[in-house]
Structure 1
Amino acid sequence: MNITSAGIGSGLDLEGIITAYIDAEAIPQEIRLQNKEERLTTELSGVGQFKSALSNFESVLKKLNSPEDFNKQISESSSEDVAVTTNGYASNGSFSIEVEQLAQGSRRQSTAFAASTDTVGTGTLTFTAGADSFDVDIDGADDLSAIRDKINEQSSNFGVTANIINVQSGSYLVFNSSATGDANNLTISSSDVSLDAISTNTTQSANDVAKSARAYVDGNLVEQDTNEFKNIIEDVTFTAQAVNMGNPAVISISQDEENGSTLINEFVDAYNALRGTLDALGNAENGALAFDANVRQVKSQLNTIVTDTVSGLTGGNKSLSDIGITIDKTGLLEINPIGIGTMKSGTEKLEDALKFNLQEVGEIFASSNGVTSKLTTLIDSYNGSDGTLTIRNTALSKQVSGIADEYTALETKLRDYEDRLRSQFSYLDSTVASYNATGTWLASTLASMQPKNS
């Protein structure tokens, strides 16, 4: 900058003139940038709220993405002796369960050895329980401890654990099998007689034989290899945990209708919250995304999905309106408690559907063409990694960040403009100063030439 105090020589208010020129150049552009920044920041905030509202709604949809989410049942047992669960489709009812015998695995014990460091022989041990078997190769140098470790570490071992017990009568190799059931008693054979002491000559007491679980369901005997009795009562699994003959446990199954009602009410509330956010964002007077095309599109698509019939369903309930969920005049979902004439209210329709047609309710939401699936796909098209709002958010963020560069460029431009003005007005200042000096000299000269009064 050539001159910092323009007008000193000429006496003119050149600083004021320069300031006026710079303001005339700067103010309109600064206002334009401020308006642009405010518009972009408001839009970016609106898009963020838009994405967040969709994400919040999607978090609720995840609770409704399988028909089984609605098929929650209450299964109870009157005693800790028997535990019970269902797959969600069991019929309501109660049953008396008496456990006569718990399932157990088997145990075998080798002949006595002097110590755990004793060796046995060479060959292959074969362990068998029912249809399962595995082999272990034994070397002549393997003592009882090494044999134990080989058995326990065998990759194909189906559940045999080898241990050594050291007692007064000697050291014994003990084998415990986790395979339960009458047909799964552990047997051990060998390829060489040198291994008979830990195979064919092992002993087993009557209490160490593998056993099946035995229980009575309403007085009817049932047996299973394990303590888990699955589908003896259709769609129910009960597990025997203790013998309770003469003191039966009563298990009861009932439908958890409240679960379905809770899920649906949560869905309705979440949908309406989303619509409320979209209405606020698109408000013509003060919405952050007033008149926005994406807001209008999503509102229209949401309305279509929740009012359409779900294709591919064969039951009597094929849409949300069939189970009492409708759209009111403001576009919000409702479960209307008031019926019209002889028609059932929305509340009554939903209660009937949850009580008598729960599977159909689940299919309306969670079938492949269901409401949840379509809504999830819609949200992903906007919020996914390449979704409309994701791309838009990235572009807006870049534009907002770029405004700082525009301010920097404007400042540089204005400084250059000021330098040019000062250069131009410097010449004017010096020229006027020169004229002023000449004028002063002429005035002084003429004054000195005036005749003096006598």
Structure 2
Amino acid sequence: MASPITTNTGAGYGLDIKNIVSVLVNADTAAKANQIARQSSNNSAMISGIGSLRSALTAFQDAMKKLNDKNAPAFNAFAGTSANENVVKIKSSNSAVAGNYDIKVDQLATGSKVASQQFVGGASTAISAGELTVSQNGKDYKINVASGATLQSVRDQINKEMGAKGITANIINEAGGSRLVFSSTTTGKGSDISVGGIPELAIDGTQKISGSGAGYITGLAQDAQFSIDGLALTSSKNTVDQAVSGLTLELTGVSAKDTTTKVTVAQDNEGLKKSVQSFVDAYNTLQKAVTALVTPTKDANGNVTSLGPLTNDPTTRSLLADVRKVLTETGSGDKLTTLSQLGINTQKDGTLEFNSTKFNAALNDKKLGSEIQELFTGTNGVFERMNKAIDPYNATGGSLDTRKSNLDKVARNLENQKTALDRRTELLTTSLTKKFSALDTALAKMKKQGEQITSIFEAINAQAKKS
């Protein structure tokens, strides 16, 4: 910035130095300053616009990801309900069929829990060095126990090396001493744990604890036993996905004596409608956000007062075209291949209209419910094609990322230009102030000399009149 000038006029002749210097400096720098300010404003608006566009695209992709969650399918044609989720929970897939089932759970699948002999020395009991072998389901897992180990250090080593395999250990302190207890997340008959290799830690997982000796604690590992409509079944796990086509049963508890739990599977038209509406809403939110970025602002008379930050931006126009193209493309389904068959159509402003009457007809009359999932989430479905259209723009290293990097470079360059111009303004102001101060002094000196000469001539004339 220019150095401040403390006086408006020179101390000698009285020139308006500050005003003169200001006018000259402004004439030299104003055009460049205005250009930098204009370009900085436009560049900042573009950076903000690109950021808003990327946020809108990310929100849309997150919404599609949620609707495409395989653990919570959003487009299943059927929904299952359980009359008692304390006994069984149900999850349906798109291959389910409508029906009712009576389920009775006699026992749940359990895992192995075995304990070592008692150690009166507690967690600090010394354990012999050697190779500890933990066996389960015909597999042997080796753990090398080093010299100086204790019951606690062996427990920690087991958890570190075998935790990922679902086998963990802990120390239980009871009245007669401490035991090393093994647990497993693996369930089912025959999955009992046995331990060998180090004598004091040996456990026969098929034998029950007796006194201070080792063995299983409450019972052997067992399969789940249950029935569906009176048909007996077993499972090594409590989550059963092969018993009924299209259904996953989660056994959560044992049935009360002589009772069954009714499970119902029915068409889920309302659930499908809600999911489709969620997609339409997410898309419309994106469309409105982009429209706001590319639409000029007008006053009450319809005159443009300002442009949107991305108005006439070629990248944004290309993105919109690619996204809108997906809405009209034909998918890879059988009877259901386009969004328009479900009553989803593009309006003049680019948003989607969802016609519930046409949607209900597609489900009830044309029986297209089971194909909606494929249309949206299947191979070459709407979600896959949408992400393919958006990723080249919004992904890390995509065109919008590159645009942002280039705009940041422009911003830094403009800031450097402004700094250079401020420096030039300061130097020019200082230089011109010195020059005009010197001129003011010179003019004051000349004025004084002129006054002296005038005084001399006036004195000569006065003398001449006296004589």
- Is 1:59 aligned to residue 65 of structure 2? no
Q: Does the CA-based 8 Å contact 1:320-1:326 persist in structure 2?
A: yes
Q: What is the CA distance between 1:262 and its match in structure 2?
A: 3.6
Please say if 1:266 is aligned against 2:286.
no
The Cα of 1:313 is off from its aligned counterpart by 3.0
Q: What RMSD in Å do the two structures reach over aligned CA positions?
A: 4.8
**Within the alignment, does 1:441 sit opposite 2:460 as a pair?**
no
Query: Shift of residue 213 of structure 1?
Result: 0.7
Alpha carbons 2:294, 2:308 under 8 Å: kept: no
Among candidates 79, 82, 90, match of residue 87 of structure 2: 82
The one-letter code matched in structure 1 to 2:57 is F
SS at match of 2:225: strand
* Residue of structure 1 equivalent to 2:382: 365
Partner of 1:15, secondary structure, is coil
Equivalent of 1:103 in 85, 101, 109: 109
8 A Cα contact 2:192 2:221, kept in partner: yes
Q: How does 1:11-160 map to 2 (within 5 A)?
A: 15-16=15-16, 18=17, 21-29=20-28, 31-32=30-31, 33-34=33-34, 36-65=36-65, 68-69=68-69, 71-72=73-74, 74-86=79-91, 88-93=93-98, 94-105=100-111, 128-134=135-141, 150=154, 153-154=157-158, 155=161, 159=167
Cα distance in 1 for partners of 2:206, 2:177 equals: 15
Contact 1:71–1:359 under 8 Å retained in 2: no
Give the secondary-structure state (helix, strand or coil) at the position aligned to 1:103. coil
Matches within 5 A, 1:391-406: 391-400=406-415, 402-406=417-421
| 1:287 equivalenced with 2:301 (yes/no) | no
Whether the aligned pair in 1 keeps the contact of 2:331 and 2:375 (CA below 8 Å) is no
Q: What percentage of residue pairs aligned between the two structures are identical? A: 11
- DSSP 3-state at the match of 2:101: strand
Q: 1-side partners of 2:320 and 2:41: how far apart?
A: 27
Aligned mate of 1:313, from 320, 332, 336: 332
Which whole-Å CA distance do the structure 1 matches of 2:129 and 2:9 have between them?
111
Shift of 1:293: 4.5
Q: CA 1:186/1:7 → structure 2, altered by over 3 Å: closer, same or farther?
A: closer
Q: Distance in 2 between matches of 1:197 and 1:420?
A: 101
Aligned pair in 2 of structure 1 residues 8, 400: CA closer, same or farther (>3 Å)? closer
Give the secondary-structure state (helix, strand or coil) at the position aligned to 1:335: strand
Residue identity matched to 1:26: V
Q: Which residue of the partner structure matches residue 328 of structure 1? A: 347
Question: How far apart in 2 are the matches of 1:298 and 1:59?
Answer: 17
Question: How many pairs align?
Answer: 429
**C-alpha distance in 1, partners of 2:129/2:54?**
70
TM-score by length of 2: 0.71
Cα distance change, pair 274–263 in 1 and its aligned pair in 2 (3 A): same
Q: Larger C-alpha radius of gyration, 1 or 2? A: 1
In structure 2, the CA distance between the partners of 1:153 and 1:146, relative to structure 1 (3 Å rule), is same
Aligned partner of 2:261 in structure 1 is 249
1:298 aligns with 2:316: yes
- AA aligned to 1:216 is S
Distance 1:261 1:357, change over 3 A: closer
Deviations 1:21-63 (A, max 9, x none): 4344133346432463255225413431342233123222222
Unaligned runs of 5+ in 2: 211-215
Structure 1 residue 216: deviation in Å? Answer: 0.7
Residue 213 of structure 2 corresponds to none
Which deviates more, 405-414 or 253-262? 253-262
